[in-house]
A = this chain, B = another copy of it.
Amino acid sequence: MPPRQRGPAQALRDPPPPQRLQGIKDTALNQTASKPHDRLAAALAAEMEAVNAVIRDRMASRHAPRIPEVTAHLVDAGGKRLRPMLTLAAAKLLGSGDERAVKLAATVEFIHTATLLHDDVVDESTKRRGRPTANLLWDNKSSVLVGDYLLARAFQLMTECGSLEVVTTLANASAVISEGEVLQLTAAQSLATGTEIYLNVIRGKTAALFSAACEVGGMVAGATPAQQAALFAYGDALGVAFQMADDLLDYGGTAAIGKNIGDDFRERKLTLPVILAVEKADATERAFWARVIEKGDQREGDLEEALRLMQSHGTLEATRLEAHAWADKARAALSDLPEHPLRDILGDVANYVVARLS
């Protein structure tokens, strides 16, 4: 992750006090911030510091020091922290950046981290099939149990906000997330998987936590029902656009074959470009997809053939357009929210997730 930058963020209503930026290199300060994610980080720098403090505090375990050991690399490494920033931005653009928004932002990050830990178990199992080292097994145990611990901590933290509505929203998101992951297990590798199932899977994978993150931020800031619906719609559409873009980039976007592409193909995951190609397949093409996806019998040149089929049916381009349509939907949802520099940045974030596709 690039260092936080200032620039347009200086125009925001509540710029972080200068001392918050002491750790940041001068070169970073002198650059004009371009990526909307960095502008979001700059606009929410003070709040994110508070979120990080809550995360460090609540991640600790009095009895089991292994817990922070396991989570530290995940949480400290940080990732992009987009989800907690969505919560903070939603609360702040509705006029509230109080302690409850900070706690909910940390809650959202805990849920995300727990999901990553459990995904590790699910993914490692297949990738390292046949060679379960003691280390792998230890990791599996720790991943499952520490993930459970983070989830429990998340529910403790969210109850502190004193809103059952918030708890219900995040519990619902958790159910959609795990349901989507189970669905992916069963839907994967079956050509019967259509776009409806795909949408459910990516809502579980990405959009459910994005929408809940936005929604609960609004809830503690006293959003009206219409504003809450707008925040949900924004997060949902942003998450769908984000995941569709990711799935398209796995095939190199609309461009030709590059390096490191085709991971989903090799793992026989049915993502939108393939689903659309299967829908348009003739008998020969269907036999090809059945062999490489359903049977997993993949040979030299199959990825290239898959790409050729997707290009001939225009499914990469169709996926790109679909992702753009969802990004448009995300931006449109923002119009029901008050004017605010953060609202503009959120709109730019929606643009950005699909801008990398063209």
Contact = CB atoms under 8 A, between A and B. Distances in A.
A60 to B, nearest CB: 11
Given A149-B182, A183-B63, A140 B125 contact: yes
Contacts of A249: none
A299 to B, nearest CB: 21
A interface SS class = helix
A129 interface: yes
A284 to B, nearest CB: 30
Interface string A313-352: 0000000000000000000000000000000000000000
Contact of A178 (B129, B152, B174, B197): B152
Given A156-B168, A156-B171, A148 B66 contact: no
Interface in A14-69: 61, 63-67
A121 interface: yes
Contact of A126 (B66, B137, B151, B164): B137
B152 A183 contact: no
Contact of A186 (B66, B168, B179, B200): B66
A159 B155 contact: no
A149 to B, nearest CB: 4
Contacts of A64: 179-180, 182-183, 186
Contacts of A138: 185
A181 interface: yes
Given A61-B179, A66-B182, A164 B159 contact: yes
Contact residues on A (Cβ < 8 Å of other chain), bracket? 35 or more
Contacts of A238: none
A122 interface: yes
A167 B186 contact: no
A130 B132 CA distance: 6
A200 B67 CA distance: 15
A80 interface: no
Nearest to A165: B159
Given A137-B129, A152-B174, A145 B67 contact: no
Interface in A116-136: 118, 121-122, 125-126, 129-130, 132, 134
Given A152-B171, A156-B175, A162-B164, 17 more contacts: A61-B182, A63-B180, A63-B183, A64-B183, A66-B182, A122-B140, A125-B141, A129-B134, A142-B182, A142-B185, A145-B181, A146-B178, A148-B178, A152-B172, A159-B167, A164-B167, A167-B167
Report the 10 A-B pairs with minimum CB-CB distance, sorted nearest first. Answer: A152-B174, A155-B171, A152-B175, A148-B178, A149-B178, A64-B182, A64-B183, A125-B137, A156-B171, A159-B168
